[in-house]
């Protein structure tokens, strides 16, 4: 697959709405967390590549915990041999230890940052060193959410890792709580350009922002892009089988069990497939606009398991997904599918925080239909404002989760969106909707 490298990879400030071009979504400031581990070294290498490609500033940070070591030493004093517990020698040991820890940990931190400085100088990347004292995840999170960065890059685990698949506590806490994009490096031997990019969509604004990230990154890495959307029709079958065994005859009649089951089989399940296929159709349109070729696939099954299976089959170098999904409620730190995939897959993971809402026209073409009554009602709107009215009604429907626009929904949208106007009343004796138009209120 030939992919142009004309674009530049970067991102908007945390949580900001992405623009319509890849350049409007560029990273300006990258934060790389260093701890001397193999995954940290790979994280720095990838941060350097991204910084060089998009002209971003790179801040390398190392956090050391001198106070924690001092506290631990005092706790261990009771176990020292008897000669060392004499007050004079104990005070002497405390002084030596404090100086060693303060100076030693700072020297270690400086050595990590010097390596990053050399790499930036060689690549012509603007560099800022940052050495912080404190609890590692807390200090790193405070810096990531300071508003000075729009991407944090870190290893999935640090020097204390006990297995290759382990997700460290620092990584997990940052992934959950960072307000900016978070790139987690899993395999220290595999660069981001070492395989395809896989994007998972679910209709959420953060997933769409992740798609823009992937398209921009593909131009830099010259990597193929695969986009998937997963829906789960099996839940309904499982639920109905369970209900079939516990409902009384009275409850079955009230619930109209057989009719509901047919409704799910004939309408709801196929409707779900249409919704998620619509996400892929929109992704194809966005990719065409940016001149990037993508391949799409609709997956069936529990979303995280279906996507994890696709990762095993495709072996991408990077999985891109929104930190929060389409059904996220207020206050949620990470979506269930994002959390499981971050733990399960063995490739790098980019958790997107940037939000992007595709243009209403793109969404409408793929996901929204109009009834004949709705088209007829819209036709009564004056012609010179009709395109604007159609777009406003589409957005109104999308915000409320409608996939079919009815005549009543058109009327509701017009009434809601025109504070200085109202639809004219239907003509006397005529069918509902006759004579509708936008007219000034008296």
Higher pLDDT, 21 or 104: 21
Confidence of residue 208 (pLDDT cuts 50, 70, 90): very high
Give 397's contacts (C-beta < 8 A, 6+ positions apart).
Answer: 368, 403, 405, 409, 413
- Report if residue 39 sits inside a domain: yes
- Report if residue 43 sits inside a domain: yes
Which domain range does residue 336 map to? 23-232+271-352
Which H or E run contains 404? strand 404-405
- Report if residue 28 sits inside a domain: yes
Judge if 33 and 95 occupy the same domain: yes
Judge if 333 and 387 occupy the same domain: no
Judge if 42 and 138 occupy the same domain: yes
Q: Whole-prediction pTM value?
A: 0.75
Which value, to the nearest 10 degrees, does the dihedral of the CA atoms of residues 21, 42, 103, 87 take?
A: 120
Kindly state the tokens that stand for 174.
């940052």
Q: Reply yes or no on whether the pLDDT at 359 is more than 60.
A: yes
Judge if 405 and 323 occupy the same domain: no
Note the pLDDT tens digit of each residue in 85-106: 556 665 656 655 565 666 666 7
Note the pLDDT tens digit of each residue in 320-355: 999 999 888 888 999 999 999 999 999 999 999 999
- Report if residue 15 sits inside a domain: no
The CATH number of the domain where 394 resides is what?
A: 1.10.8.550
Q: Reply yes or no on whether the pLDDT at 430 is more than 70.
A: no
Q: Reply yes or no on whether the pLDDT at 410 is more than 60.
A: yes
Q: Reply yes or no on whether the pLDDT at 78 is more than 70.
A: no
Distances in Å between the Cα of 334 and the Cα atoms of 157, 182, 199, 276, 327 are 19, 12, 17, 21, 11
Kindly state the tokens that stand for 205.
């604004």
Distances in Å between the Cα of 285 and the Cα atoms of 3, 57, 293 are 16, 32, 10
- Report if residue 293 sits inside a domain: yes
Distance CA 33, CA 64 (A): 12
The answer to whether 303 touches 191, Cβ cutoff 8 Å, is no
Judge if 431 and 299 occupy the same domain: no
Judge if 386 and 298 occupy the same domain: no
Instruction: Specify the number of domains making up the chain.
Output: 2
Number of alpha carbons in the 13 Å side-chain half-sphere of residue 253: 3
Higher pLDDT, 331 or 403: 331
Number of alpha carbons in the 13 Å side-chain half-sphere of residue 7: 29
For 236-390, where are the E strands, in sequence order?
294-300, 318-322, 348-352, 369-370
Helices then strands, counting H and E runs in the chain, come out as 16, 14
């Amino acid at each position: 697959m030939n992919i142009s490298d004309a674009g530049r990879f970067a991102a908007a400030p945390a949580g900001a709405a992405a623009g319509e071009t890849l350049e409007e979504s560029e990273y300006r400031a990258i934060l790389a967390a260093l701890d001397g581990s193999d995954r940290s070294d790979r994280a720095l290498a990838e941060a350097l590549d991204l910084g060089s490609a998009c002209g971003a500033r790179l801040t390398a940070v190392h956090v050391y915990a001198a106070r924690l070591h001092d506290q631990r030493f005092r706790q261990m004093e009771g176990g020292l041999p008897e000669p060392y517990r004499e007050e004079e020698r104990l005070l002497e040991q405390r002084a030596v230890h404090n100086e060693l820890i303060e100076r030693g940990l700072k020297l270690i931190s400086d050595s990590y940052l010097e390596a990053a400085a050399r790499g930036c100088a060689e690549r012509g990347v603007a560099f800022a060193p940052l050495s912080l004292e404190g609890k590692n995840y807390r200090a790193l999170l405070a810096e990531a959410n300071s508003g000075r960065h729009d991407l944090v890059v870190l290893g999935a685990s640090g020097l204390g890792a006990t297995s290759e698949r382990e997700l460290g506590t620092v990584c997990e806490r940052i992934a959950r709580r960072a307000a900016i994009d978070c790139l987690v490096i899993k395999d220290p031997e595999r660069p981001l350009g070492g395989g395809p990019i896989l994007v998972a969509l679910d209709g959420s604004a953060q997933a769409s922002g992740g798609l823009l990230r992937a398209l921009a990154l593909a131009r830099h890495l010259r990597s193929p892009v695969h986009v998937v959307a997963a829906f789960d029709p099996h839940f309904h079958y499982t639920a109905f089988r369970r209900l079939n065994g516990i409902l009384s005859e009275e409850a079955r009649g009230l619930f109209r069990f057989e009719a509901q089951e047919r409704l799910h089989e004939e309408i709801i399940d196929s409707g779900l497939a249409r919704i998620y296929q619509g996400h892929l159709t929109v992704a194809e349109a966005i990719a065409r606009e940016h001149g990037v070729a993508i391949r799409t696939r609709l997956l069936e099954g529990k979303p995280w398991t279906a996507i994890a299976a696709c990762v095993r089959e495709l072996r991408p170098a990077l999985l891109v997904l929104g930190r929060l999904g389409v059904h996220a409620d207020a206050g949620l730190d990470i979506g269930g599918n994002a959390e499981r995939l971050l733990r399960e897959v063995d490739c790098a993971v980019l958790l997107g925080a940037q939000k992007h809402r595709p243009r209403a026209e793109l969404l409408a073409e793929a996901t929204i239909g109009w009834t004949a009554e709705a088209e007829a009602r819209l036709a009564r709107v004056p012609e010179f404002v009709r395109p604007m009215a159609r777009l406003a009604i589409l957005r109104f429907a999308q915000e409320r989760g409608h996939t079919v626009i009815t005549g009543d929904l058109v009327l509701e949208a017009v009434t809601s969106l025109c504070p200085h106007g109202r639809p004219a009343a239907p003509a006397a004796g005529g069918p509902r909707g006759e004579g509708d138009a936008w007219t000034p209120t008296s």
